[in-house]
A and B are shown apart, each in its own frame.
Chain A
């Protein structure tokens, strides 16, 4: 219970700090829109093409945006050695990790909710046909990104090439989750009939989240205490 209370405090602190400065929100949101725009220049998006890889396109944008958000998770604590103060506070490593992951999840999910209608307008998609399922899948995929990203952000926070190392470690590790969420989003986004392997991808995504969350919570203390 104490861990969850501490995690909520950390998450609230991170969100309050972000909403005051709007540093990550503004840059990530504009970056996402620019990437959506660039994709439309890279190929001529016909309805058939969008039905085939719209989900993949959308999650490429979210994956890039996610890296920007999670990169700041622990890096924002570096000035004035705030990270040392957080680590030596009564909050455990697990609480610290969970709080930061929840904050990253809220920020990223908010950005996704803004990008989704923009994507619908740019690529002419009636994306709200399965809105409930789509938001559920987006939440699962976003948690995978926030959880794994926050953990690797803690792992790489003190490295010389932090901005380069984080995506290099994160993306290969995230591929099972990204692959699943792209397949699921593609089906729900374009209103296709639910294919037979839908539950396989859903189980893979849930399994990834359960495994990554458990391991990250268990190992967070080891990574954070120096």
Chain B
């Protein structure tokens, strides 16, 4: 059943991603001040939204694991965190490319950029912690606790573009500026459409990774059983 859902999501996501790529590259006009490089914004921001949603999913799954002690929630948490890290990396890399063209430097120790990097490092620590614990129950418990703490860094990253007025551009979406239109409505609409496409892609990644995690756990259980029988 899940395989069919993944395939169905893929059938929707792939044409949407290709169509968006075509529209972004060939149909939308250049931005007045930034020129063609602004197009990277259609991937930079949706990648952050997808990563934030993945981290939120990991937080909910971690809390549920601590409440119910069911390993399936731990599997959801790790799948969502890994996917979130991949999208957060896309967010950071696209931001760096934009910075190189617009500011002339790959990286600035700007609070907003720094928070995004801290957030990435904190979740990378989550994966490192998992790899250092052998016992599945202990691993799930400690990872869930760390995920709860790590979610605080996501909240700060989310608010960072409002709290600190620095080099990084401020909020431009009307949903975050209280309805004030700071970019062309057509550009904003395209951004939402691409956000949907990346969210679908993120969901596919989480489901595939979840299947891998479940298979891995079955193999581990069988291995332990075989070991006990001998």
Contacts and interface: CB of A to CB of B under 8 A. Distances in A.
Nearest to A223: B145
A165 interface: yes
Given A165-B132, A226-B138, A172 B125 contact: yes
Given A159-B133, A222-B141, A226-B138, A173 B153 contact: yes
Consensus secondary structure, chain B interface:
helix
A155 to B, nearest CB: 5
B4 to A, nearest CB: 38
B5 interface: no
Interface residues of A, number: 21
A155 B156 contact: no
A222 B63 CA distance: 12
A169 interface: yes
Contacts of A212: 149
B51 to A, nearest CB: 16
Interface residues of B, number: 22
Consensus secondary structure, chain A interface:
helix
Interface in B83-118: 114, 118
Contacts of A200: 163
Interface string A106-118: 0000000000000
B208 interface: no
Given A165-B129, A169-B129, 10 more contacts: A161-B132, A168-B125, A172-B153, A176-B153, A219-B145, A222-B66, A222-B141, A222-B145, A223-B141, A223-B145
Interface of B: 66, 114, 118, 121-122, 125, 128-129, 132-133, 138, 141-142, 145-146, 148-150, 152-153, 156, 163
Interface of A: 155-156, 158-161, 165, 168-169, 172-173, 175-176, 200, 211-212, 215, 219, 222-223, 226
25 contacts: A155-B129, A155-B146, A156-B132, A158-B133, A158-B138, A160-B132, A161-B132, A165-B128, A165-B132, A168-B125, A169-B128, A172-B118, A172-B122, A172-B125, A173-B122, A173-B150, A175-B118, A176-B153, A176-B156, A200-B163, A211-B152, A212-B149, A215-B149, A222-B66, A223-B142
